[in-house]
A and B are shown apart, each in its own frame.
Chain A
Amino acid sequence: MSAIQYIKDIYGAVKSLLIGMKQTGYYFTHHKEIITQNYPEEKQQLAERFRGEVVMTHDSNNEHKCTGCTACELACPNGTIKIVTKFEQTPEGKKKKAIDKFVYHLELCTMCNLCVVACPTDAIKMDQAFEHSVFDRSQLTKVLNKPGSKIMEGVE
């Protein structure tokens, strides 16, 4: 190793290190580059398509669109959805199948959206809620149809 090469090596090394320090020094002095969000105070606006959990839409008359066809149950890869059906008396006296309980296991759900795609009546959709942590796992098993809700008129 010649002496000139030796000095050149040192010069190059020091230069590359100083360039690196310039970068971190830039960020140290430019506080507006900070990207931290203080989570509970500053909540990020979630995307409208964000998939947080499955919900069933109810209108103001407490009516939903679910016919209990179990398309979503079949589409689900994890066995997240269990539909319990019952027979209801229609005004004409006919017996009609309707849902009793739409059981949704949030703890098994991977938010893959396949159930929403499979639903023929758009009864369920994905909601943006993401703060799902609870102390007891059983609270993650939800019944999506609200108590006393009925199927909407005209949905087959």
Chain B
Amino acid sequence: MTWIADVLLLIGAAFLFLGALGLWRMPDVYTRLQAGTKAVTLGSVAMLIGVGIERPDWWPKLLLITLFILLTSPLGSSTVARAARVIGQRPWRAGDAKETP
């Protein structure tokens, strides 16, 4: 049973790393939000499930944390994207210069 938890933790760590890498590599705010939200949400949820398999008595709190992440993460990213659109941020096209972070 414990190797399933290990695999889930590894998947979570890999996706969190990919999210961080994407945040650094992507050219503009919208693509960075893609990396920062989707990969990080999947990574943290996989990590929480892994921890839940490792420690079965923590399930209720972990479930609540998962619910909270699933609720707030898309909310935050959509709000940031909307704010960027409102102030007139243009999406990146091929050939444009990469924005400085």
User: Do the two chains bind?
Assistant: no
